Amino acid sequence: MNSHSERHTLFTREQIESAVNRLAVEITQNYRDKNPVLIGILKGVFIFMADLVRYLDFPLEVEFVNLSSYGSGRQTSGRVKVVQGLSCPIKDRHVLVIEDIIDTGTTIAFLMDYLEKEKPASLKLCTLLDKPSRRRKPVKIDYLGFDVPDKFLVGYGLDCDEQYRNLPDICYLEE
């Protein structure tokens, strides 16, 4: 990140709120009687997860895993590391994975394989943002907020070198 990057708003907080609300309605229809485990992928998902679960008015559990595929800055390392794994058994549970953004698909493909081995009753994926133009691994998205262009996004939980997570809007950085 250098000081010449300019920041532009891609989605305002109002647009994000209405997308989160719409996703919550869809998720409620399918999970209201299932006591699902929602598994968020840290750190980027922390704000989306916090907003989403407050719209879900039924029994559920919240878990987090901490994976890392990116090093610092904007480049993917192509490798996924489990920094912190699951702390509850998910065998025979309905599991909904919550992600902030899917880019090449490397991170989520790895996590879905890892969770599938635990034999959940069902395993689905919700992501706020999808950057399909950069996909390298096939990924099935069950609940999607927005398709986004191939730009480096920050805000609403997303960082660049750990900065900008606190921005209420989703922005992109440009040289």
Contacts with ligand 5GP in 87-146 (CB under 6 A)? 99-108
**What's the rounded Cα separation, in Å, for the pair 91 and 102?**
25
Residue 26 C-beta: closest distance to ligand 5GP, Å: 21
* Member of 10, 24, 37, 44 binding Mg ion (CB under 5 A): 44
**Comparison of 57 and 161: residue with beta carbon closer to ligand 5GP:** 161
**Alpha helices for 9-158 (secondary structure H):** 13-31, 46-53, 106-116
**Comparison of 105 and 120: residue with beta carbon closer to ligand 5GP:** 105
3 state DSSP class of 110:
helix
Of the listed 103, 113, 142, 147, which one is catalytic?
103
Which stretches does DSSP call E strand in the chain?
Answer: 6-11, 37-42, 61-70, 76-84, 94-102, 122-130, 143-147, 153-154, 170-174
33 is annotated as an active-site residue: no
Residue 153 C-beta: closest distance to ligand 5GP, Å: 4
Q: Which are the catalytic amino acids? A: 103
